[in-house]
Amino acid sequence: MENTRRSFLKKVSAAGLGAAGLAMAGSANAATSVAEVPQKKKTAGKDDGKLRFGFIGTGSRCQEHINNVLAIPGNKIVAICDIQQGPIDSTLKHIAKFNVPAPKVYKGGEREFEHMLNNEEFDCVIIASPWEWHVPMSIAAMKAGVPYVGVEVSAANSLEECWDLVNVSEATGSHLNIMENVCYRRDCMAALNMVRQGLFGELLHATCGYEHDLRDVKFNDGTHYTYQPGGELRMGPTAYAEAQWRTNHSVHRNGDIYPTHGIGPVANCLDINRGNRFVALSSMATQSRGLHKFIVDNGGEHHPLANVRFNLGDIVTTMIKCANGQTVIVTHDTNSPRPYSLGFRIQGTEGLWMNDGDHVYVQGKSKPHRWDDSEPWFKQYDHKLWATHGDAAAEAGHGGMDYIMMYDFIQAIHDKRPAPMDCYDAAAWSAISALSEMSIARGGALVDFPDFTRGHWIHRQPAFAL
């Protein structure tokens, strides 16, 4: 235990950038704070024919995206933006490995991204910042006339922010794409292929979630702490970039605050926003124990963070009802000791897939009452994106799905077609956070789901990865 405790106390000094980018200080203003950013008409000409990319947030997630943007021919990076010099320097060194021109750098104030957006010409801007900045930055990019905006997950934190993304995308004509990489996971795409070919019959039910032990990510000893009960938790500058902002969501919120990794692939299988939609949800949360226990176990009862009160329940369970009758259970669990799982289950009248255990059962094809291993099924129903580009994706992040996602997004930009996962998807998937918080605060009450398509879901056709 003593070795573990010493490791905990020293962790940040060796942590580097961690798993996230753009560690912004303070809180982002509401989306309306950038309403005054003038919409600028972007010129269509490109002197070399390459797509022009910009990046807001230069942590390791940004660098993963850069890998794929530069690995796909016909792209260049025009500018990057961050408020911290360390991530900028690391990203510039990373780009230099590709033997391409260095991008212009925007740094300094929290709103420096607005200067970048209004001074440069882009075909696409990708936002890999802390959650509270996703909407202000996305809106600023769309209002600046950027044709395609990719925003990391979750796209929004409140219902107001969800509507802001939809309204501004519709008003400006800019295509907002939520960068949900799990939708491009090879098994998820094979399962989607099986759904579309009718192997599971009419869909009835699905489960999914984000079950990932993030205690090590949320807490890292920096050079100092600042915490007042009921206020903001601030960690020292040497903490993981993600810990500098993510942990506060566990302090102040109680709901499924990170739903899109699970719900994105399920929504694609269920044709959400395209012939189906979420209509209501109910959520409940357990007591909050895991984060405090982790601090005490590893840092002692007198650790500076031992007096922090956490609102986030260790396990949050949400049930969603769909317009076409299906039910979905979504689980959020990031405070507990456990192996990683997204808990996928896609079940219909003829069979189902469960990713925990890698199980498939198809009535009339599988042996009665016996699971099949999923691998032979998924090889047979491998999605064409993977069958065609799997070799190129082999070295990319997250098992290759980052490459497949970027390839599909870039193809949409080249073809000038709608984003693969558009503003309505970003809003519907992200809204689970705010709605689950409302439901939990009301004792698990059923909460109506907004129709972000304003009724158009009835006639919209499936578009993802056709």
Helix (H, G, I), strand (E, B) or coil at 362: strand
Which residue numbers in the chain have pLDDT < 70? 1-46, 220-241
- pTM, two decimal places: 0.90
Amino acid at 200: F
| Contact (CB, 8 A) for 193 and 380 | no
Cα 58 from Cα 221, distance rounded (Å): 22
- On the CB side of 69, CA atoms within 13 Å amount to 25
Contacts of 371-379 with C-beta under 8 Å, sequence gap 24+, read: 374/187, 377/190, 377/194, 377/353, 378/186, 378/187, 378/190, 378/191
Q: What is the DSSP letter of 327?
A: E
User: Cα torsion at 224, 230, 231, 235 (round to 10°)?
Assistant: 30
Cα 271 from Cα 290, distance rounded (Å): 36
> Which pLDDT value is given to residue 48?
86
Q: What is the bridge-based pairing of β-strands 316-322 and 278-285?
A: antiparallel
| Contact (CB, 8 A) for 248 and 310 | no
Helix (H) or strand (E) holding 51: strand 51-56
> Which pLDDT value is given to residue 316?
98
Residues in the chain: 466
User: Cα torsion at 267, 268, 270, 273 (round to 10°)?
Assistant: 70
> Which pLDDT value is given to residue 304?
81
* CA distance to 118, 137, 408, per residue, from 144 (Å): 6, 10, 24
> Which pLDDT value is given to residue 298?
87
A 10 A CB-CB count for 390 gives 15
Q: What is the DSSP letter of 335?
A: S
How buried is 372 (Cβ within 10 angstroms: 0-12 exposed, 13-18 middle, 19+ buried)? middle
A 10 A CB-CB count for 152 gives 26
| Contact (CB, 8 A) for 259 and 154 | yes
> Which pLDDT value is given to residue 441?
98
Alpha helices by DSSP H, listed for 231-317, are 246-252, 260-269, 290-299
> Which pLDDT value is given to residue 303?
85
| Contact (CB, 8 A) for 61 and 21 | yes
Domains, in order of start, for the chain: 8-181 (3.40.50.720), 184-383+423-458 (3.30.360.10)
Specify the residue for token string 């000791």: 337
Cα 370 from Cα 16, distance rounded (Å): 47
How buried is 299 (Cβ within 10 angstroms: 0-12 exposed, 13-18 middle, 19+ buried)? middle
| Contact (CB, 8 A) for 273 and 453 | yes
How buried is 311 (Cβ within 10 angstroms: 0-12 exposed, 13-18 middle, 19+ buried)? middle
> Which pLDDT value is given to residue 243?
74
